Amino acid sequence: QSALTQPASVSGSPGQSITISCTGTSSDFGGYNYVSWYQQHPGKAPKLMIYDVSNRPSGVSNRFSGSKSGNTASLTISGLQAEDEADYYCSSYTSGSTYVFGTGTKVTVL
């Protein structure tokens, strides 16, 4: 099972919006909408930011939004803030009843 493909890095200035893509195959996404996104600060455990493509858990800022079109999912961070600087991973439940993570994207706030 190969990882979903994400850009290695994305950067933006405070207040700007950035979008992280997550590309896979139809098997990777399994025909479901079980795509999630995780934020990981250095030395910390991952934190769930988006689930089921576009839903935010309680307590997650509405500056984070998710979408999916075909075999590409996306995470958009609007109004970029210094605290958003972290690694971000997408994940999907697959047609093989397994999970696959993305390669990870380092977000830098300039």
Sign of CA dihedral 60, 61, 62, 64: negative
CA dihedral in degrees (79, 83, 84, 85; nearest 10)? 130
Q: Applying CB under 8 A, does 12 fall inside the site for other proteins?
A: no
Please, are residues 35 and 90 in contact by the beta-carbon 8 Å criterion? yes
Residues in 34-53 that interact with other proteins by CB under 8 A:
34, 36, 38, 40, 45-48, 51-52
Residue 48, CA distances (Å) to 9, 35, 87 in order: 19, 11, 12
Q: Applying CB under 8 A, does 103 fall inside the site for other proteins?
A: yes
> For residues 57 and 79, which CB has a smaller minimum distance to other proteins in the complex?
57
> For residues 42 and 82, which CB has a smaller minimum distance to other proteins in the complex?
42
Binding site for other proteins (CB under 8 A): 1, 3, 32, 34, 36, 38, 40, 45-48, 51-52, 57, 89, 91, 93, 97-104
